[in-house]
Amino acid sequence: MPPATRIVSLTVTEGGYHLDAVTGDFDGSDPAVLADLRPGAAPRTVFGLVTEALARRRDRGIPAFSILSCDNIQGNGHVSQRAFTAFARLRDPGLADWITRHVRFPNGMVDRITPQTTGPSSAGGSASRTSGRYSASRSPNGCSKTTSPTAGRR
């Protein structure tokens, strides 16, 4: 990752953070997470990849980047911070301390996210596109997108 990179934005999804629903603690028992924690392992999870990039920056004296969660989760920055810092602590407590001091995890709101529908409510929805306009018919979410007639004009 180039030293000029200042922000890493990502979407993990709520279940992908591996946080215990009761305690809120990171659950590092997932086989892919455990594989990433093995010394010398080539990272495969988002936690392994991002933490490896941060470890390299720390070791080379390059400033940390911010991690911007685009997940539609209340307090998404806090959720990201809890998960990434916990993963780093399992890997290297000193790295976790460095992340705590140097990495920013801003909270942000993602606009225009349509909640996932399941079961009977998800059947029967359809969308059509005409000249850059989208509309959902019989959509249980009631979401539609219409582009501005001036979009793309200078």
Contact in structure between 49 and 42 (CB atoms under 8 Å): no
Q: Find tokens 């953070």 and name the residue.
A: 17
Domain ranges across the chain: 7-102
| Helical ranges in the chain per DSSP H | 31-37, 46-60, 76-91, 93-102
Instruction: Tell me which residue has tokens 């086989």.
Output: 31
Taking only the tens of pLDDT, the chain with its 154 residues reads: 788 999 999 998 878 888 888 988 999 999 999 999 999 999 999 999 999 999 999 999 999 999 999 988 889 999 999 999 999 999 999 999 999 999 999 998 766 656 666 665 545 544 444 444 434 444 444 444 444 444 444 4
Residue with tokens 């991690």: 67
pLDDT of residue 41: 92
What is the predicted pLDDT for the residue at 73? 87
Token pair in block for residue 7: 């922000």
Name the token pair of 125: 């929805």
Residue 93: phi and psi, rounded to 5, are: -55, -35
What is the phi/psi pair of residue 60, to 5°?
Answer: -100, 0
Helices (H) and strands (E) in the chain, counts: 4, 5
Residue 114, Ramachandran bin (φ over 0: left; ψ between -120 and 50: alpha; else beta): beta
* Per-residue model confidence (pLDDT) at position 154: 41
- Fill in the DSSP letter of residue 142: -
